[in-house]
Structure 1
Amino acid sequence: MTDDAAVSAGGWRELLGPANLGASTVLAGGVALYATNEFLTISLMPSAVGEIGGHRLYAWVTTVYLVASVVAATTVYSTLMRFGPRRSYLFALAVFGGGSVACAIAPTMQTLLVGRTVQGLAGGLLAGLGYAVINTALPSTLWTKASALVSAMWGVGTLLGPAAGGLFAQFGSWRWAFGVLAILTAAMAVLVPIALPTRNDASVEAASTPVPVWSLVLLGAAALVVSVAALPDDARATAGLLVLSGLLVAGFLYVDRRRPAAVLPPSAFHVGPLKWIYLTLGVLMAATMADMYVPLFGQRLAHLSPVAAGFLAAGLAIGWTASEIGSASLRTESTIRRTVAVAPLVMATGLALTAVTWSEDASAGRVAVWAFALFVTGTGVGIAWPHLSAWAMSRVDDPAEGPAAAAAINTVQLISGAFGAGLAGVVVNLTETGDATPARWLFAAFAALAAIGMVASVRSGRQYPARSITGR
C-alpha cells in the first residue's frame, strides 16, 4: 500500500444500519456499563459511607474494582475461544448484574467491596469483549469505526458516571444507582442472542485454549501494588512499590512470551509494529489519568462547586469522544499514520498548557483556558485510538491471532490506567503543599510522559517486512 492509498472502510451508516446495529449496541453497551460503573462511585460514595460506614475502606471501593478488572481482562481471549461471543457476553452480563445487586443491597462496606470485586471481574471481561468481538462480529472494513464507537463509551462513562451518581446521592437513593445498572444489564442480555453469533470461526479449533493463570497472577499483583503505591507517606516506600510493580510487569512479559497460555499474541514479541501499537495505547491511556485530580484542583484553585469542577474534568472526555468520531472517517493511509504519530504531542501540548496555567484564585478566564487545554488533551487520545485499535487487530503475523490481539487492547488499557492512576497519586502526594504546586507538577510530569510516547507512535505506523507464521 502506498502512502497516498485510500484505506477501504465502511461508513457510519453501515455500522449503525440494520445489519450491524444490534452487535454495535452490545459491544458499545458493555464498555459503557463498565466505564459508567467505574466513575459512578466518585460522587456516590460519600452517601454510601454515611449510611453503612467503612470510612477507612473508602479508597478500596475503586481499587478492588480496577484490580479485578485487570485480572479479568487477561481471560478475555480464552473465554471467547471456549464459549464464543454469545455465551461469553451472557456470562459476563449475568455476573455483572449479580455484582450490581450485591452492591445495591450491601449492609456493610465489606459486602459492598465484595460486590465491587464481582462487578470488576465481570466488567473487565465486558470491556475486553467489546474490542475482541469486533474482530468476529463485524467485517474488517468496519473495525476502525467500531473501535471508535466502543472507545467513545469511555468518554460517555466519564460524563454519565459522576452525574448519575451525584443525582442518586442527592435524592438519598445511592442503592438505586446500582439497581438501575442491574436493570440495564438485564435489558442488554435480552439483545445478545439476537445480535451476536454463537461461536467464532476458530472457536471449535481453539476450544481447549487454557486460561493464562501465571500471566493473570503477575498482572493482577502489579495492578494491586501500583494501586497502593500512593498510600505510604514515606517516599522510599512509594518508590519501592513502584519498582516492585514494574518488576511484576517485566515478569508478566517474560512469562507471557514463553507460555502457551498467553495474554498478548506472539506477534507482540516479534519484529513488527504490534508492540509499538500497544505501547502507544498504554502511554495515551496512562496520561489521561491526570484528569482524575481535576475536580480537586478546580475546587481548590478556582473555588468551583463540585458540579462545575466535575464538568471541567469532562473536558478531556469530550475531546476524546469528539475527535474519535472525526478521526475514524480518515481514509488516506499517509494521513492516518501522520495523525497517529503526532497524537502524543497533541496530548502533551494540552497537558503542558494546563500545567503552566494552574494558579490560586483563578478567574473565569483562567478556568476557560483549563477547559480548552483539557479538551486538547482528550483530542490527542481520540485522534489515534480508533486507528491503533484497528491496527492491533490486523497487524499480526498470523490472522488467527486477530482475536487475541483485539482482546489484549483492553488488557493494555486497564493496566496502563491503573499505573497512570498510581503515578498520579504518587506525584500529588509527594508535592502536596495545599496550593497549585501539586497540580503543576502532576500535569508537567504527565506532559513529559505523553511526549515520550511519540517514540512509540511514530514506530507503530511504520511498514515492516512480512513475517512468516513460523518466524523464519
Structure 2
Amino acid sequence: MTTEREVTSWREFRDHLGVAIVLAGGVLVGAINIYLVGSLLPSAVADIGGERLYAWSTTIFSVAQVAGTLAVSRMLSLRGTVGSYLIGFGVFAAGSVVCAVSPGMAVFLIGRGVQGLGAGLLTGLGFAAVYVALPPSLWVRGTALISAMFGVGTLVGPAMGGLFAQFGLWRAAFVVLAVVGVAAAGSAPRVLPKSDDRKTPAPVPIVSLTLVVGAATAVSVAGVVAGVAAMTLALAVAVASVLVFLVWEKRAVQRILPLATYRSGSPLRWVYLTIVVLSAGVGVEMFLPLFGQRLAGLPPVVAGFFGAALSLGWPVSQMLVASVQKEATIRRLRVAGPLLLAIGFLGLALLQRSHVSSPMVLAWLPLLFLAGAGIGIAWPHLSVAAMTSAPDPEEGQKAAAAIATILTMSTAFGAAVAGLLVNLGGSSPVNSARYLLLGFAAIAALGILAAHRVNHTRLIPDLRNHLVDLA
C-alpha cells in the first residue's frame, strides 16, 4: 500500500488553528467525561442512591456513544459540518445538564445516555471533519491531534473528577461540562468551513445499525454481569452480531462501512483490523491501578498514574511521528505499532510477582509507555490510510467517520475481554495480571499480521490531489 505524501509542519496549523481546536475539543470533552465520571460516581451514588445501577452508567454511555458515531455520516448529509457540530455539542451539553440536576439514578442514567450520544457524534465528526475541513497535507497531523485527546482525557478526567469529588461538588462538574459544550458550540460557526457539504442522505441502513448497536450492547453487558459464563455468553453474542454484520454489509445496498472494505484487493479491511487491535489494547489500562495497589502496595493516587503511563505514550509518540513522509518509514511504523504494544504487554507480564519490589515497579513505567507508544506511532498513518483507501470523496468521508465507530467498539470490546481475562485469574492477583497481559500481547501480535497485510495490499487510486477542495 503506497501512501507517500506531502506533510506540512505543525506551524501550518496556524492557518487552521480554530478548526483544529473545535475538532480536538469535541473529542476531548467526551474523553474527559469518561474518566471524570469514574471519579465522581461514588459521590453521586452516595447523594442520590442507586448503587445497584452503578455499573450501568458506563454501559449506557458506551452503547449511546457507538450509536452516535453511527449517525455521523447521515448527520453531515443533513446538516453539514457546522450544523452537525452544533447538534453534537448541544446534545452533549443537554446530557450534562440532566446529570447535574438528577434527583435519582434513573434520571442520571438518562443523562448519561444523552451524553454518550453527543460524545459519539463529536468523536465521529472529529475524524470525518479532518477529511473535509483540513487540506490533505494536514490529515496526518489532524488525526494525530484529535486521537491524542484520548490520552489527554485519561490524565485530565480523573484529576478533574477527583477535585470536584474532594469538595463534594459532583453536580458542578457536569455544569462545567455543559458550559464547555455550549461555548464550543458558539465557536463552531466562526471557525469551521462555511461551505455547504450537505447532500441528499441515503436511506438509513436499519439492519446494519441494529447489528452494530446490538454488538455494542452485548459487549457492554459483558462488563457488568457476574460470572465468567455470563460474560463469555455476552461476548459470544457480540462476536456473532459482528460476524452477521460483516456478512450483511458485504451484500447490502446501504451500508455503514465503505464499499472498499469488502472489495477484493483493498487494504481497508486490514487497516480497520489493525485499528481494532490497537484500540482494544487500551482496555488493559483500567486494571493497571488495581494491580499497582494489590501487587506493589502503591497508594491509589500513585497507582492511577501508573495506569496513565500507557495513555501518555499514545499522544507523545503521535506528535513525534506525524511529520513522517517517506513511504518506507510509514510502512515500518504501521508494523512497529502492534509490535511495540505486544512487547510492552509481554514485558509487563514477565514482571508480575506477588510482592513487587520498588525497582521492579519503576520498570513497569517504560514498558507501559512503550505499549502506549505502539498505539501512537501507527494510529495517524492508519487513519490516513483509511481515508485514502476509498475511491471517491463520499466514500472517503464515510471511511473517516467509520474510524470513530471502530474505535469505540474496539475499546468497549477490549474492556470486556480484559474483564474476562482478569476473572480467569480467580482470587490470585498475580495470575489475573499475567492472564490479562499475556492475552493482550497475543491480540497485539495479530495486529502485526494485519499491518503486514496493509503494507502488501494494493491501494485503490489515491484521488486526494484530484478532488475539489471540500473545505
Q: Given the two structures, how large is their TM-score scaled by the length of structure 1?
A: 0.94
8 Å Cα contact 1:74/1:215 also seen in 2: no
The residue number in structure 2 matching 1:188 is 184
8 Å Cα contact 1:81/1:200 also seen in 2: no
Which of these residues, 255, 258, 275, is aligned with residue 251 of structure 2? 258
Aligned length: 462
| One-letter amino acid of the counterpart of residue 79, structure 2 | F
The residue number in structure 2 matching 1:211 is 204
How far the C-alpha of 1:260 sits from its partner, in A, is: 3.3
User: Which region of structure 1 is more displaced relative to structure 2, 337-346 or 212-221?
Assistant: 212-221
Determine if the alignment matches structure 1 residue 227 to structure 2 residue 217: no
**Structure 2 unmatched runs, 5+:** 464-471
SS, match of residue 102 in structure 2? coil
The residue number in structure 2 matching 1:452 is 446
How far the C-alpha of 1:181 sits from its partner, in A, is: 0.5
Determine if the alignment matches structure 1 residue 421 to structure 2 residue 381: no
**Structure 1 unmatched runs, 5+:** none
The residue number in structure 1 matching 2:16 is 20
How far the C-alpha of 1:212 sits from its partner, in A, is: 2.7
Deviations 1:239-290 (A, max 9, x none): 2222211110112222333333321010111121111001100110001211
8 Å Cα contact 2:56/2:224 also seen in 1: no
Deviations 1:1-50 (A, max 9, x none): 98xx96311211112x0x20110000000000111111112211111111
Which of these residues, 7, 11, 15, is aligned with residue 9 of structure 2? 11
8 Å Cα contact 2:64/2:113 also seen in 1: yes
8 Å Cα contact 2:390/2:396 also seen in 1: yes
Which of these residues, 304, 307, 312, is aligned with residue 318 of structure 1? 312
Whole-Å Cα distance in 2 between the matches of residues 376 and 399 of structure 1? 36
Deviations 1:215-260 (A, max 9, x none): 2211111111122224444433332222211110112222333333
How far the C-alpha of 1:455 sits from its partner, in A, is: 1.0
| One-letter amino acid of the counterpart of residue 7, structure 2 | A
SS, match of residue 20 in structure 1? helix
SS, match of residue 383 in structure 1? helix
SS, match of residue 364 in structure 2? helix
Alignment of 1:27-176 (within 5 A): 27-176=23-172
Whole-Å Cα distance in 2 between the matches of residues 181 and 232 of structure 1? 30
SS, match of residue 453 in structure 1? helix
The residue number in structure 1 matching 2:468 is none
Q: What stretches of structure 1 move > 4 A for 4+ residues in a row?
A: 230-234, 465-469
8 Å Cα contact 2:267/2:459 also seen in 1: no
User: In structure 2, do the counterparts of structure 1 residues 465 and 357 end up closer, same or farther at CA, with 3 Å as the change threshold?
Assistant: closer
How far the C-alpha of 1:467 sits from its partner, in A, is: 7.0
User: In structure 2, do the counterparts of structure 1 residues 466 and 104 end up closer, same or farther at CA, with 3 Å as the change threshold?
Assistant: closer
User: Which region of structure 1 is more displaced relative to structure 2, 20-29 or 225-234?
Assistant: 225-234
8 Å Cα contact 1:101/1:182 also seen in 2: yes
8 Å Cα contact 1:89/1:192 also seen in 2: yes
| One-letter amino acid of the counterpart of residue 51, structure 2 | H
User: Which region of structure 1 is more displaced relative to structure 2, 70-79 or 426-435?
Assistant: 426-435
8 Å Cα contact 2:151/2:311 also seen in 1: yes
Whole-Å Cα distance in 1 between the matches of residues 421 and 462 of structure 2? 45
The residue number in structure 1 matching 2:469 is none
8 Å Cα contact 1:83/1:199 also seen in 2: no
Whole-Å Cα distance in 2 between the matches of residues 296 and 468 of structure 1? 46
8 Å Cα contact 2:223/2:416 also seen in 1: yes
Aligned identity (percent) is 46
8 Å Cα contact 2:100/2:174 also seen in 1: yes
User: Which region of structure 1 is more displaced relative to structure 2, 48-57 or 362-371?
Assistant: 362-371
8 Å Cα contact 2:23/2:146 also seen in 1: yes
8 Å Cα contact 1:86/1:196 also seen in 2: yes
Deviations 1:48-76 (A, max 9, x none): 11111111111111111011111111111
How far the C-alpha of 1:410 sits from its partner, in A, is: 0.3
Whole-Å Cα distance in 2 between the matches of residues 76 and 32 of structure 1? 17
SS, match of residue 102 in structure 1? helix
User: Which region of structure 1 is more displaced relative to structure 2, 455-464 or 164-173?
Assistant: 455-464
Whole-Å Cα distance in 2 between the matches of residues 208 and 235 of structure 1? 43
Cα RMSD, aligned residues only: 1.8
The residue number in structure 2 matching 1:301 is 295
Whole-Å Cα distance in 2 between the matches of residues 394 and 157 of structure 1? 28
8 Å Cα contact 2:424/2:435 also seen in 1: no
Which of these residues, 234, 239, 259, is aligned with residue 246 of structure 1? 239
How far the C-alpha of 1:325 sits from its partner, in A, is: 0.3
Whole-Å Cα distance in 2 between the matches of residues 313 and 286 of structure 1? 15
How far the C-alpha of 1:442 sits from its partner, in A, is: 0.4
Deviations 1:419-466 (A, max 9, x none): 101101111122221431101110110011001111111111235164
SS, match of residue 293 in structure 1? helix
